Chains A and B, each alone.
Chain A
Amino acid sequence: KAGVTQTPRYLIKTRGQQVTLSCSPISGHRSVSWYQQTPGQGLQFLFEYFSETQRNKGNFPGRFSGRQFSNSRSEMNVSTLELGDSALYLCASSLARLGDEQYFGPGTRLTVT
């Protein structure tokens, strides 16, 4: 079974631009979560999508948004990029039953200059 895939793996953007990251979950997984990883703040939850609906959200500004498609693939968008948005963005998928673990993709490394 193929794992979680994320594209692109690396991205360099300029302050003020916007960016879209993509995540394809493991087949059959309906839940997709996004996390931001930085050296200073560690791993922080962004949001979770389940059956095309956002059902859980972390404490991030509205510049961070996402969506999920009917095939469970998900995208996250960051508008008006700031230098502090430079991070590794990790996507994780799950069957979302009680106690189920999340399976992580390799991440997208975003650098904002």
Chain B
Amino acid sequence: AQSVTQLGSHVSVSEGALVLLRCNYSSSVPPYLFWYVQYPNQGLQLLLKYTTGATLVKGINGFEAEFKKSETSFHLTKPSAHMSDAAEYFCAVSRGGSQGNLIFGKGTKLSVKP
């Protein structure tokens, strides 16, 4: 069975500081990994995804994530936080194909202080 653990339900950073949101996954098959962001009263927007190949993945809005198989991790980072980054972030795993449904972590709410 697949599962996702996001460490820290709330993370608070100052504007301009590094953003680090942690995600660990469990999967019996090579996983497809995703980060989504959700703003209040909206659906989920894809930030980035890992399928195969390069383990450092760049996404939208300056975010990136690194797939580390040995650590079963897929942490999300951004060098410098902006106020507009305040939202909830979800890490998700999928087996792909006909088993392509997403298994989500519980989410991390990011606050950005001025």
Binding site for B on A (CB under 8 A): 4, 31, 33, 35, 42-45, 48, 50, 55-56, 58, 90, 92, 94, 96-107
Contact = CB atoms under 8 A, between A and B. Distances in A.
B106 A42 contact: yes
B90 A43 contact: yes
Contact of B44 (A42, A45, A97, A104): A104
Given A42-B104, A43-B104, A45-B103, A107 B97 contact: no
Main secondary structure of the interface of A (DSSP, over half): strand
Nearest to A103: B46
Contacts of A50: 98
The 6 closest A-B CB pairs, nearest first, are A99-B51, A104-B43, A43-B104, A104-B44, A45-B101, A98-B96
A33 B90 contact: no
Contacts of A43: 90, 102, 104, 107
Contact of A100 (B36, B100, B103, B107): B100
Nearest to A102: B102
A48 B46 contact: no
7 contacts: A55-B98, A58-B101, A92-B44, A101-B46, A103-B46, A104-B45, A107-B42
Interface of B: 32, 34, 36, 41-46, 49, 51-52, 90, 96-107
Nearest to B34: A101
A94 B49 CA distance: 14
Contacts of A104: 36, 43-45
A99 B101 contact: no
A97 B51 CA distance: 11
A66 to B, nearest CB: 13
B44 A31 contact: no
